[in-house]
Amino acid sequence: MDWTGLLAWSIDQKKGEKFDTSIKPMDEETKKWLCEALQSYSVDEFQMIKDLLDKIAKPEQEDEEQQRLEWFEQLMELLDALDRANDFCKIGGLSLMFNYFQTSKFDSIKLQILKIIQNCNQNNAFVQEFCGQNNYLQLLLQIEKIQNLKLKEQLVSALSSMIRGECLKNKRKFIDMNGLNILLNHLDSNRCIEKIANLFRDLLYYDDQLHKTYHDLSKFSNTAGQSIKQQDKKNYNLTTDINDELLKSNELPENKKYKGIIKKILIDLKFLNYANKFIFDTSIKTSDLRIQFLQCSVILLKFQDDEEFKKIIKIHFENLIKEQDKDEGEINLCKQIL
């Protein structure tokens, strides 16, 4: 019920009329009726989340797929607001999601679980750190068991959401798990390839910072999408906070080995030799996929040149400029490489 709108309409209808403005005490019967009426229109959404988790936590039955799928979809809707994800972690909701993913018989439900995991982690430093502390990056190892292509694509998205941005601890955990090598063995679809290249680009972007320790991730813009509740605005004034964070003593000796490690690993894995997986046509519909790969390539070539790779890009560039529909960003990346 739009109570504000109803009030505005009522006031508008009374314009120009004289009416009694004196305030009279409300009798108990009217007060009770009003409380019941208001309660009937108010919903405790957090209690709804708890109730859904109670249902989901019960053992899964063979004939429950559709019913349970509806529960997960309802849960997804309730968690849409960013500030609910933190509370969801605190009441054990995210832990239940990870455990349920490993035991569920239904791919449709696993897909929904991965979407929930992704949404909770997206631009949320608290949830990312929670996942790192509870070893939920082990989700990566599940990729070896998955045959369903859509499920595999969504797993990469969920994993990426736990790693991207300034959550350097999770990046280091991913590296220690041999994550880059594992993902390179699963370039099974265009969507998978694009998501993996996008994650690699993020890792390369932070490669020279990986030895650092950030003590308060909320200082950073891409993991600090927090609402100022009184004003309902995003906090974009973060420059000073970031500088304060970077001035702290945060380069621990035991993490020194991680500085620049992504470039070294990808070169050892001959990442540029995977060009045929990424550069297979010049159509505009797959340009995003190619751009992700080319952005990674530009960084790697500054670290170690590769003339054979440049020959491949030269041929691609010559074919690309003949296309009527082409992405200028892709053309510029090719020029940088050449």
Give me the pLDDT at residue 225, please: 38
Give me the pLDDT at residue 234, please: 38
The DSSP string of 156-192 is: HHHHHHHHSSS-HHHHHHHHHTTHHHHHHTT--SHHH
Q: Which residue has the tokens 């249902």?
A: 55
Are residues 140 and 179 in contact, defined by beta-carbon separation less than 8 angstroms? yes
Nearest Cα to Cα of residue 126 among 78, 96, 153, 90: 90
Tell me the pLDDT tens digit for each residue of 105-131: 999 999 999 999 999 998 899 999 999
Q: Is position 213 within any domain?
A: no
Q: Per-residue pLDDT for 87 more than 80?
A: yes
Residue 56 structural domain? 44-163
Q: Of 12-26, 81-95, 115-129, 247-261, which range is least confident?
A: 12-26
What pLDDT band is residue 20 in, cutting at 50, 70 and 90?
low
Q: Of 188-192, 197-201, 216-220, 230-234, which range is least confident?
A: 230-234
Instruction: For helices 287-303 and 307-320, give the axis angle rounded to 10 degrees.
Output: 150
Residues contacting 135, CB < 8 A, separation 6+:
none
Rounded to an integer, the average pLDDT of 295-303 is 95
Q: Per-residue pLDDT for 42 more than 60?
A: no
Rounded to an integer, the average pLDDT of 20-47 is 65
Q: Per-residue pLDDT for 34 more than 70?
A: no
Q: Is position 271 within any domain?
A: no
- Tell me how far apart the alpha carbons of residues 69 and 206 are, in angstroms, rounded to a whole number: 37
Q: Is position 54 within any domain?
A: yes
Tell me the pLDDT tens digit for each residue of 257-278: 999 999 999 999 999 999 999 9
Q: Is position 22 within any domain?
A: no
Q: Is position 96 within any domain?
A: yes
Give me the pLDDT at residue 280, please: 87
Q: Considering its fold, how many domains does the chain have in total? A: 1
Q: Per-residue pLDDT for 13 more than 80?
A: no
Rounded to an integer, the average pLDDT of 90-100 is 94
CATH code, domain with 145: 1.25.10.10
Residue 20: its H or E element:
none
Give me the pLDDT at residue 106, please: 93
Q: Per-residue pLDDT for 209 more than 60?
A: yes
Q: Is position 50 within any domain?
A: yes
Q: Per-residue pLDDT for 232 more than 50?
A: no
Rounded to an integer, the average pLDDT of 198-207 is 95
Q: Per-residue pLDDT for 17 more than 80?
A: no
Percent of the chain beyond pLDDT 70? 79
Q: Is position 29 within any domain?
A: no
Give me the pLDDT at residue 217, please: 72
Q: Is position 121 within any domain?
A: yes
Query: What predicted TM-score, i.e. pTM, was given to this entire model?
Result: 0.80
